Each structure stands twice: as structure tokens, then as C-alpha cells.
Amino acid sequence: MIDTARLVEVARGELVCLWGDLDEARRDAHEGQWSMGCDSLVERIKALTPLVGATPWAQVQIALLEDGVYQRVHQELGIEVTVDMDAVAEHRAWLDQQAVTT
């Protein structure tokens, strides 16, 4: 018997990892832009998301939120997501402050 609840849980975890992989792939791409590897990761994200729902924005890397990548991927899927950009800006300010103090 297939444990569908466990399958959904694993798929959601994989989505979190895929968003992290996308952030890393973009940072590793030439001049931090976009690559074929990024395209491949987005396609994998797009394959899983309709099956288990959007990854909560708070579990996605800040750069992908700031640049609208997270929002664009979901828009292309026809899935509405709302990102608290005030909270994102606050977190960015905190990260920038941490970088100054270290």
C-alpha cells in the first residue's frame, strides 16, 4: 500500500531542496545570472509543485524572493502565492547588518 501522506511529505521536502539548489545554481552561473542548470531545476520545481502545492515562501532563499523568481515560477503555473516583501526586506537588512558586524 502506498503511503500518500508520506509521499507528499517527501515531495514537499524535495521542493525545499530544489529551491536551494536553484539558488546555488544561479550563484554558480556565469556572473550570477541564469544557466541551463537553473532551467532544469525550475522544470523539476514546476513538475512537483502542482502535485503538492507551493513551497512556503519563508522556506525559499531570500535572493529568489527579492528577484521575483519564486513569484514568476508560480505565476507561470497559475498558482497564486503571496510573499511578505516587508518581512523579506527586514530579513535582508538583518543579513546585511550581520555581514557588517562579522
- Mean residue pLDDT of the chain comes to 95
Torsion 52-53-54-59 (CA) sign:
negative
Q: Is the pTM of this model over 0.85?
A: yes
> pLDDT tens across 14-51, in order?
999 999 999 999 999 988 789 999 999 999 999 999 99
Q: Closest Cα to residue 46, out of 27, 66, 18, 21?
A: 18
CB contact at 8 A, 22 and 42: yes
For 48-77, b/e burial (b = at least 16 CB within 10 A) is ebeebebbebeebbbbbbeeebbbebbeee
N-terminal to C-terminal alpha carbon distance within the chain: 52
Say whether pLDDT at 5 is over 80: yes
